[in-house]
Every structure is written in structure tokens, then in C-alpha cells.
Homo-oligomer: A and B are copies of this chain.
């Protein structure tokens, strides 16, 4: 199995991109990533794209070929594959790219993610996103994602004494970080009070507990580690890329305050990489809802189960804290263009591990972890 490194990365501005189509966003980020990697189109021999629902959002499937075509790679007949795993589509596109290089089937691979979500009106987006839950056993009875995460939050509060303020502290921190990230959708600080007074979505979650609807795209370029220095002065070695699944419906889970898939994937990633939790300098985790970040840092082992809320409000996960989490601003402040998020997390990690994250830089960062339903660990 060949070792794989990231040799370049790019990310569009996330937000409401009214003037740009799905293909515009992908071309924009693809060019950024190729320039960053010092790679020309002719050198690409594989392309993966994470996209949750081009069919429902912009009536376009076959996104792999579309993107290869838009990027001018069609004449080269580059193998182009779309990967879908709802909010983890980007993370899985990255992992498929890693497999393609690790297997020797490809050498230089682009792993991209994209979602164009603002071309539909509100109800359509909510319904499209609900297609990631169990349509027959959850959505049919009215449960959408805010409701499902609200149930997780309620039990976490009940069982561990997590407070409303602790949930809000996740959003406050991530907005702070997002203010220092030029790609983030929301460039504004918020207070705990702002979160608590924002409109209720699904009790106890309020608008400012939820990640928004966003357009955006991100891309990274992968190569075998042995070839990486040919392209890049600062390649980022991928120590492990692990993936796990769980029941689709929440009601079938052993315990809804733990995502067993996170526990399983992170265990595999740590085993593969030979590093331990304490070696990780920073992490990007999946905060589609504030409770999601609290559960994630517990399940990844950064804090004990039930201690997540306290850790956040005490600054453990702030930049400068023991384990900075979501320095990019997370899904909360960057926005959550579903298929792009997993790749944007990798993009943030590339900047951090290169020491190029500006005001949000974590000093001396050497090992990072990204968590996009499945987990992945990277080291420069």
C-alpha cells in the first residue's frame, strides 16, 4: 500500500453564490488546487467529487463526468467518479482518492467536493437534505435533521447535564474563528445571548445552533508520498483515512449520545497511523449542529463522554486551548455546502499544517484530524 500525500488545495468563498453555477464553483476551486500543487491538467489521472444531491438541487447527476468536462480534462479521458454519502460525501471522495493512489491505479488525483444549494427555495432544500435520513422510517413521519439532532441534544442534556449555554458556546467559538477565515460564509461574531435568543428550530436547537444552506466547492490534489516533493515544498502526508457506517435511522442506535461510526472510524484511523489522541494538535469536526461538535470531541476521545459541553465553554477547544477544534469556523460559520464540507476540512488542515492559516494559525501544528462522519488523520 503506497503512502499518499496532499500536494495542493483550494477552496472557493462559501456563501450564497447567486452568480455561479455548480460547474462554475468546481472550476474555480479546481484551478486553485492545481495552481497550489504546481500540477498541470495533463498530469491528473483520476478525479473524485463528493456531491450529495445535484439531482435534487440542480437536476444534474453524472457530476463526475460533468466536472472532468468543465475542467477541460475530458480530452484526456480522466476517470471521474462521483461519491455520495450525504454530509460526508466530501470526506469519502477524499478517501476514494486515497485508495486510488494507494492501490497504484492512479498517481495524481483530484478529490473535490461541491454543492450548489441556493437555487431552490426553502422547503425543497429541507426535503432534499432529509433524503440523507431514513426516508421510510424517519422523514415520512416528519423528522428532519434539526429534529433528529434535537433528540440527541435532549438526551445529552438529560444524561450529562450539558447546558444550553454550552451548546451556544460552540457557535460562539466557531463564529470567532470564522471571522479570521476569508472563505467563511459568516464573518461576524455572535454572543451566547444571541444564540439563546435566536428563533427556535427544534427544541432545544435554535437557528444559531444550525449550520446554514450554502454554495461552495473545495479541492485537494493527491499524489504518492514518494512523488510529492516533486510538486510541493510542503506536502501533507495522510497517515490514515478510515470510514465507518451505522444504522441510518437514529431509533435503531445503541445509544444516540454517541456516534458509534465516529468511534469505530477514529479507532481504525489511530491504529493505521500509529498515533494517539494526545498526538493530535488540532481537529476539524462535523458541527452541522452545535450538539454535533460536542458529541464528536467526546467520541474522538479528546474529552471524556459527557465532558464535551464543559470543555467548549472553558476554552479547551479554542485556538490556544489544549485541542483547537474547527479553527476554520466549522460548518457553523463557514457554511455547509454538503458535498464540499469534507474537502474544506482537509483544505483547512493543509493551511494549518503548512503554517499558512494567518490569524487562526495553531502554533506548531504538526498533526491534524478531520472528522466528516468518518474520520481521517493527517500529518505533515
Contact B1 A104 (CB under 8 A): yes
Most B C-beta atoms less than 10 A away, residue of A74, A102, A261: A74
| A319 sits at the interface (CB 8 A) | no
Q: Give A21's nearest chain B residue, CB to CB.
A: B136
**In the complex, are the beta carbons of A132 and B248 less than 8 A apart?**
no
Q: Which of A80, A104, A249, A265 has the most CB of B within 10 A?
A: A80
A368 is an interface residue with CB less than 8 A from chain B? no
Interface string of A351-380 (1 = CB under 8 A from B): 000000000000000000000001000000
- Compute how far the CA of A374 lies from the CA of B245 in the bound complex, rounded to whole angstroms: 28
How many residues does chain A have at the interface if contact means C-beta atoms less than 8 Å apart? 63
Question: Residue of B at shortest CB range from A249?
Answer: B69
- Taking CB atoms and an 8 Å cut-off, the chain A residues in 59-98 that contact chain B are 59-66, 68-69, 73-74, 77-86, 92, 96
Q: How far is the CB of A245 from chain B (nearest CB, A)?
A: 4
- CB–CB A83/B82 < 8 A: yes
Which of B1, B136, B260 contacts A103 (CB under 8 A)?
B1
CB of A36 within 8 Å of the partner chain: no
A131 contacts chain B at the CB level, 8 A cutoff? yes
Q: How many protomers of this protein does the assembly include?
A: 2
Chain B residues contacting A136 (CB-CB under 8 Å) are 21, 23, 60
How many angstroms between the C-alpha atoms of A65 and B133 in the bound complex?
10
Tell me the bound Cα distance from A310 to B264 in angstroms.
57
Closest Cβ–Cβ distance, residue A356 to chain B (whole Å): 30
Query: Is A247 among interface residues, defined by CB-CB distance under 8 A?
Result: yes
**Could you mark each residue 91-133 of chain A with 1 if its beta carbon is under 8 Å from any beta carbon of chain B, else 0?**
0100010011011110000000000000000000001100111
Query: What is the interface of chain A, defined by CB distance below 8 A to chain B?
Result: 1, 21, 23, 47, 52-56, 58-66, 68-69, 73-74, 77-86, 92, 96, 99-100, 102-105, 127-128, 131-136, 139, 242-249, 252, 260-261, 264-265, 374
Closest 4 CB pairs of A and B: A103-B103, A79-B243, A77-B244, A77-B264
27 residue pairs from A and B, CB less than 8 Å apart? A1-B104, A54-B131, A55-B56, A56-B61, A59-B131, A59-B139, A60-B135, A62-B85, A62-B248, A64-B84, A65-B245, A65-B246, A69-B246, A69-B247, A73-B245, A74-B247, A74-B248, A74-B252, A77-B244, A77-B245, A79-B242, A81-B243, A96-B96, A99-B100, A99-B103, A102-B104, A103-B104
